[in-house]
Amino acid sequence: MLERISEQLYLHEDTCKVYVIRNDREAVLIDFGSGAVLEELRSIGVERVTDVLVTHHHRDQVQGLEKAVAAGARIWVPHHEQDLFTHVDLRWLGREIYNNYDVRQDKFSLLEPVAITGTLKDYARHTFGGRTYSIFPTPGHTIGSISILTEVDGQQAAFTGDLIAAPGKVWSMSATQWSYNGCEGVLSTVLSAMDLLGMQLHLLLPSHGEIMREPASALELLAGRMKRLLELRGQQSGLEDVLNPAFVEITPHLIWNTRSFANSYALLSKSGKALLIDFGYPNIHQTFYAGADRSSRRPGLRQIDQLKRRYKLTGIDVVIPTHYHDDHVAGLNLLRDAEGAKTWVADNFADLLEHPSRYDVPCIWYDPIPVDRRLPLEQPIRWEEYELQLYEQPGHTLYAVAVAFEVDGKKVVAIGDQQGTDGKLNNYVYKNKFRSQDYTLSAELYRRLSPDVILSGHWDPLSVTADYLDRLARDGEQLKALHELLLPIDEIDMGAEGFCAWIKPYQLELQDGKAAEITVEVLNPLASRETVTVTLAAPHGWDIEENDRRLDIDPRTVEQVRFRITAPSGQHVKRARIAADITVGSRRLGQQAEALVTVTAHAPH
């Protein structure tokens, strides 16, 4: 049975509240429940559901979603929770059960995958059924929860999912605990409630509980009670850190955001624009919860709004990352979508941001990041009144740069996560493609650039001294020498990473019965020119054209060889494994590299 809220707005009580927004004979649904709503729509003259908009992934919101797909409705889900719809089967297979400290309610998800039409990104605006819907991030009940705002029958309405259930109440306190004994969802609920307070709403329409016609008092009461809980737990300082920005002026036109998880820096122009160096997660209290899947990470714009107000900025014009790691780039797409910021990226890792599935290195962001401008290395780059130059800076990762510029009479170099201000060389990661000589190269670079100030990714800005540069050079040489002593490089040199083959793309989607090309990069790790044999290992029944490929490769040199692979018709699988088996001369090194292949019945995205 449908309950009429206003002329075009109806409610169906199900496993959750399902809202029906009518547009003549069509309707848009907010959440879906069991799908029983479909049987009630004809009673109000609705013949077709065009779209279903989902506020969060919990099963009571969407357990009947396959019925919506079968009925021809378009399905739209929160962007950060999309994998809990389309790839929830992989989540079930990989979810920790024993020794589990991840207490998020991600297991309260669909039992099987469901196809979606698209995602609802934070701050995006969409038109469905002739009506505009605005998407706002409101984490609390889940990390990826959204509220959907639209005007219905002259009233500004917010469909808030399970953020709030009644004045001062939530549907579940358990859902607000994302990490073991944590209170991240409590803190986020306060912030989300405060954000909605400023939106002049007439109606709060929750997934469970009661419709609220006095939103301001309902939200204020909720925020107040949650604040008291934080105080009781002795954790109110986390909220204060988020609410109270801490911008430090390194120089009058170079601003350090001290609250972001990885340091973010703003270069201010006299035009009123800003250029950011790195932009990842907003705050440590809102960043690392249990898990590392897409639904456990969410960037935000709160500090951008604070920065713009504090320094009277007209906007964020450009962002340049020092390297590809998620804590430095997570917010780049959000800045593009919400602020119109352009993404400028160094030539040596732009491809990784645009095509992340090609690579197998740690800390890759989940989505491709479009690059507006590829920046050449060691060439002047003009932005407003400033000139910047980017320099290759391997060490913490191969895919990194140092960004050099002058501001307010100071020579500055932003080095990302290369090393801390204490100068200790302990921030290298082998899987990031660290090479033993990398820190000698960066020490030479800093001496050449002779900066007054070094900006790092997780430490305070450093006023550079000759002693500091000397120590980096000395320790860099020792680090190189120790690796040469520890590794059998006289016999076989596979570098600090320890492998001699890599397959690209690392993740491949392939239509059954169709061929696709992969590339194997192979290193001859010996000191003499050798014939290297590359043999692909693949699941039974797969076709590999011209397997057992042979290349004559010079010593310590990398070459490429391409293969065409075909999965049999009718065989659909997620993450099938293939491997490159390497023999150098007469030396068998085995399956040195792997890649993951998903085979579907349809053409790849």
The DSSP result for 382-409, as a single string, is EETTEEEEEEE--SS-SSBEEEEEEETT
Report whether pLDDT(284) > 80. no
The residue segments making up the domain with residue 476 are 247-486
Query: Looking at residues 197-213, what average pLDDT do you find?
Result: 97
Q: Is residue 116 part of a domain?
A: yes
- Mark which of 237, 266, 281 sits at the end of a domain: 237
Domain stops at, among 182, 211, 237 = 237
| Same domain? 91 vs 172 | yes
Identify whether the C-beta of residue 113 lies closer than 8 Å to the C-beta of residue 65: no
- pLDDT for 287 beyond 70: no
> Same domain for 230 and 368?
no
Query: According to the model, what pLDDT value does residue 601 have?
Result: 86
Judge contact between 143 and 189, C-beta under 8 A.
no
pLDDT in tens, 224-275: 999 999 999 999 988 998 888 899 999 999 999 999 999 999 999 999 999 9
**Model confidence at 285, in pLDDT bands (50, 70, 90)?**
low
Distance from C-alpha of 450 to C-alpha of 411, rounded to nearest angstrom? 8
Give me the pLDDT at residue 289, please. 67
CA–CA distance, 43 with 25 (Å, rounded to integer): 11
Residue 468 in this model has a pLDDT that exceeds 90: yes
Q: Which helix (H) or strand (E) holds 535?
A: strand 530-537
Per this entry, what is the length of the chain? 605
SS3 of 168, please? Answer: coil
Tell me how far CA of residue 244 lies from CA of 143, 221, 328, in angstroms: 22, 21, 21
Q: How many helices (H) and strands (E) does the chain have?
A: 13, 34
Same domain? 264 vs 212:
no
Say whether 329 sits in a helix, a strand or coil: helix
pLDDT tens, position by position, 315-374 = 999 999 999 999 999 999 999 999 999 999 999 999 999 999 999 999 999 999 999 999
pTM of the complete model beyond 0.85: yes
Whole-angstrom Cα distance, residue 214 to residue 141? 21
pLDDT tens profile 56-100:
999 999 999 999 999 999 999 999 999 999 999 999 999 999 999
* Ramachandran assignment for 603, one of left (phi > 0), alpha (psi -120 to 50 degrees), beta (any other): beta
Specify if 494 maps to a domain: no
What is the structure's pLDDT at 112? 98
Confidence category of residue 291, pLDDT binned at 50, 70, 90:
confident
Cβ-based neighbours of 239, under 8 Å, separated by 6 or more: 187, 190, 191, 227, 230, 285
* Three-state secondary structure call for residue 282: coil
Spatial strand order in the sheet of 549-553: 507-511, 587-600, 573-584, 530-537, 549-553
Q: Are 381 and 375 in contact (CB under 8 A)?
A: yes
Q: Is 584 within a domain?
A: yes
State the chain's mean pLDDT as an integer.
97
Euclidean distance between CA atoms 134 and 311, whole angstroms: 27
The domain boundary, picked from 486, 513, 539, lies at 486
491 lies in some domain: no
Are residues 167 and 120 both part of a single domain? yes
Q: How far apart are CA 221 and CA 223, in angstroms?
A: 6
- Regarding whether 255 and 191 lie in a shared domain, the answer is no
The answer to whether residue 426 sits within a structural domain is: yes
Q: Would you give the end-to-end CA distance of the chain in angstroms?
A: 40
Same domain, 418 and 285: yes
Q: Is residue 182 part of a domain?
A: yes
Same domain, 298 and 199: no
**pLDDT at position 288, please?**
61
Looking from the CA of 402 toward its CB, the CA atoms found within 13 Å total 31
Q: Count the domains in the chain.
A: 3
Residues 39 and 150 both lie in one domain: yes
CATH number, position 585 = 2.60.40.10
* Residues 129/181, Cβ–Cβ less than 8 Å: no
Q: Is residue 380 part of a domain?
A: yes
Give residue-wise pLDDT tens across range 380-433.
999 999 999 999 999 999 999 999 999 999 999 999 999 999 999 999 999 999
Statement: residue 290 has pLDDT above 90: no
Structure tokens at 430: 């082998």
Cα–Cα distance between 597 and 576 in angstroms, integer?
5
Domain match, 261 and 218 both: no
Q: Is the pLDDT of residue 537 over 90?
A: yes
For residue 280, the 8-state DSSP code is: -
**DSSP-assigned beta bridge partners for residue 374:** 345
Domain presence at residue 495: no
Question: In terms of domains, do 251 and 226 share one?
Answer: no
Rounded Cα distance, 511 and 509, in Å = 7
- For residue 309, give the CATH number of its domain: 3.60.15.10
Do 298 and 429 lie in a common domain? yes
Q: By the 8 A CB rule, do 579 and 542 touch?
A: no
Query: Three-state DSSP class for 598?
Result: strand
C-alpha angle 383-389-394 in degrees, rounded to nearest 5: 135
Pair 512, 460 in one domain: no
Q: Locate 193 and state its tokens.
A: 């409630």
- 142, 296 in Cβ contact below 8 A? no
